[in-house]
Amino acid sequence: MEISTLATYHCLAFVWYFFVAYSITHIKTEERPSEVFLYGGQWKYLTVLNLFLQAVFYGVSFLADVLRLIKKLRCAKPVISSRDLLFSVLAFPVSTFVCISFWTLYTFNRELVYPKSLDGVIPLWLNHAMHTAVLPFALLEILALPHRYPAKKKGLILLGFVAFLYTSWVLWIYSVTGEWVYPLFALFSPPGLAAFFAGSLAIIVSFYNFGEFLNRMIWGQSKFS
């Protein structure tokens, strides 16, 4: 894909994610159901955090494209490295995890992850923007250009550290409020919850490996932007 086309795509993707993130974070207080958006607000939900992650990623990607267009290659190099690290370690695996885990649990029992009371607050298009469109965007990014993945050990350590931070945030919220971020967690005993978190980490690691596999199959080992 031509750099100018990439720049246009990344700019539009950035604007889209910024708009979606703005929309979900500016829901009127009086419209919010009592059982959600309490301590921690929207910032306790992985879905919302992922929207901001994607906005940052596409903003960095657009900056890298602009620097390449104006031939500022020395400045572009660290930005491209940051873009690839963000995509490989976080943007792709987290988007894939959000989409697949949400719709799997939603199909099983929506009240565990997305109470029906939210239907009157969050429009259908916004639900799909947060939970469905994120995966096609991630796959399109892999098709659009190659990304340099870090050494496997480094990539998994970074991914594991971010997963640890989010898990700690979820546990902190429970310790303060006595309520779980997602009603699903209340179904587990402490050992069961630990096993659930460990299983979730294993799944997101598999998505990291899947992204790396797709990148290598499409672009090979040597072709990088």
Q: How many other C-beta atoms are found inside a 10 Å radius of the C-beta of residue 44?
A: 21
Amino acid letter, residue 20: V
pLDDT number for residue 225: 42
pLDDT number for residue 3: 84
Long-range contacts at 193-202 (CB < 8 A, ≥ 24 apart): 197/167, 200/97, 200/101, 200/163, 201/160, 201/163
Cα(74)–Cα(45) distance, rounded to whole angstroms? 38
Q: How many helices (H) and strands (E) does the chain have?
A: 8, 0
User: Considering only 32-46, 68-82, 99-113, 130-144, which range has the smallest mean pLDDT?
Assistant: 32-46
Instruction: Kindly state the percentage of the chain with pLDDT values over 90.
Output: 73
Predicted confidence (pLDDT) at residue 148 exceeds the cutoff of 80: yes
Band of pLDDT at residue 94, cut at 50, 70 and 90: very high
Phi, psi of 45, rounded to the nearest 5 degrees: -95, 130
Query: Bigger pLDDT: 79 or 72?
Result: 79
Mean pLDDT of the chain: 90
Condensed to tens digits (0 to 9), the pLDDT of residues 171-191 reads 999 999 888 998 899 999 999
Enumerate residues 6+ apart whose C-beta is below 8 A from 66: 7
Predicted confidence (pLDDT) at residue 36 exceeds the cutoff of 70: no
Band of pLDDT at residue 77, cut at 50, 70 and 90: very high
